[in-house]
Every structure is written in C-alpha cells, then in structure tokens.
A and B are shown apart, each in its own frame.
Chain A
C-alpha cells in the first residue's frame, strides 16, 4: 500500500517563527518528493522538489529528506500570515504509479 501521511493540523505559529511541516511515506525505494501549497479555494502550487538525502533551500523554504527514516519535511523560516495555507506532500513511489499526495497540513500563521 502506497501511503503518504501528514498531520492534518491546524499548525499554528506566530509571525516570524519557523513552521515545521512533516510527512512520512511507506516505500523506502521512493525517489522524488514534492511540496505544494494550496490556498483556500485555489489549486495547489509547487513550492519545491527534493530528490537526495539532506537539505534543499529555496528562499525561506527548506526541504529536508531522510530516506532511511522515510521522512520528508518542509521548514518555513520567518513565517508570514500570507504563508497560511494547506501544505501538501507528494511522493513518487517506485514503479508505474501516479504521484501520491498526503491529505495536507493546514498552517495558520498568527500576526
């Protein structure tokens, strides 16, 4: 069973803090991982992808991947109220399978 698990939240953080979003997945052989942001009533928007163990930084966002632990996370530094959204984790499992999405974590940044 190919599963992607995320805490549904809401995760509330104060403005300026670091928000940490976590995702676990079921197959250690998975190769590529994606984070999307979805504002209420809008479509998901790609934030970043990560393929190798370790950290990948893009502006205020850092994705962290640990394949041995089957864990991928997204850190948002200096969180802003405009970061309030649902964050979706997606995993490309081995084989001819579609991208599998978690149900998302709702983040609320409090001003």
Chain B
C-alpha cells in the first residue's frame, strides 16, 4: 500500500504571499491531520479532518486554513505568509475512528 504523500516537498515563498500544500492519505484512510514543526519545537497541531469535516482545530491564526475532499485528499492554505511560518509541515493519515497516524514526508516551507 502506498504511504502518505505530500506535495510539494520544498517551497520558497516571500512574506505576504500565500501557499497551498497538498496531502494524499493512505488508501482507505478517512482522517487527515496537519502539524507544523519548527527547529527545537515539538509537533504543533493545526487541524484534523474526517470525512470532509474539520473535527479539531489547533491554536493557529485564521491565516491557516484547510479542507478535505471527498477522496480524503486534503489541502492546507496559509495566507499572508510571515517569516515565522517557515517550518516543516507534516500531514498524517489514519483510519479515523482508530487513531494510529502515519506521517507523510512533509513539506519544508521557507519564507523569505
């Protein structure tokens, strides 16, 4: 079974721009979670989607948004990028009710 895939893998943007990151979960998984990870920091929870509905949301500003499609693929968007948004963005999928999460390789975002 193919694992979780994330695109793009690397991204360079400038302040004020917006960015969209994509995540394709493992086949059959209905839940997708997004995390931000910066050097020296743990995983910061962004959102969790299940069957196209946002099930949980972390403590991030409204510039961070996401959605999930009917095929369980998910996107997250960050508008008006700030330097502090530079991070590794990780997506993880799970069956949904069962919480075991499997991570994708991540998207490394650099904001200049």
Contact = CB atoms under 8 A, between A and B. Distances in A.
B99 A99 contact: yes
A100 B35 CA distance: 11
Contacts of A101: 35, 42-43, 45
B41 to A, nearest CB: 8
Interface string A23-51: 00000000010101000001111100100
A16 B9 CA distance: 36
Nearest to A44: B103
Interface stretch (A53-61, A64-72, A73-81, A90-98): A90-98
Given A44-B90, A103-B42, A97 B100 contact: no
A98 B34 CA distance: 10
A102 B103 contact: no
A68 to B, nearest CB: 22
Nearest to B44: A101
Interface residues of B, number: 21
Interface of B: 33, 35, 41-43, 45, 48, 55-56, 58, 88, 90, 92, 99-106
A24 to B, nearest CB: 15
Given A103-B41, A104-B42, 4 more contacts: A46-B100, A96-B56, A100-B45, A101-B43
Given A43-B105, A88-B43, A98 B48 contact: yes
B46 to A, nearest CB: 10
A90 B103 CA distance: 13
A32 B58 CA distance: 21
A104 B35 CA distance: 15
A21 B85 CA distance: 31
Given A34-B100, A43-B104, A43-B105, A98 B33 contact: yes
B42 A102 contact: yes
The 3 closest A-B pairs by CB, nearest first: A103-B42, A43-B103, A98-B56
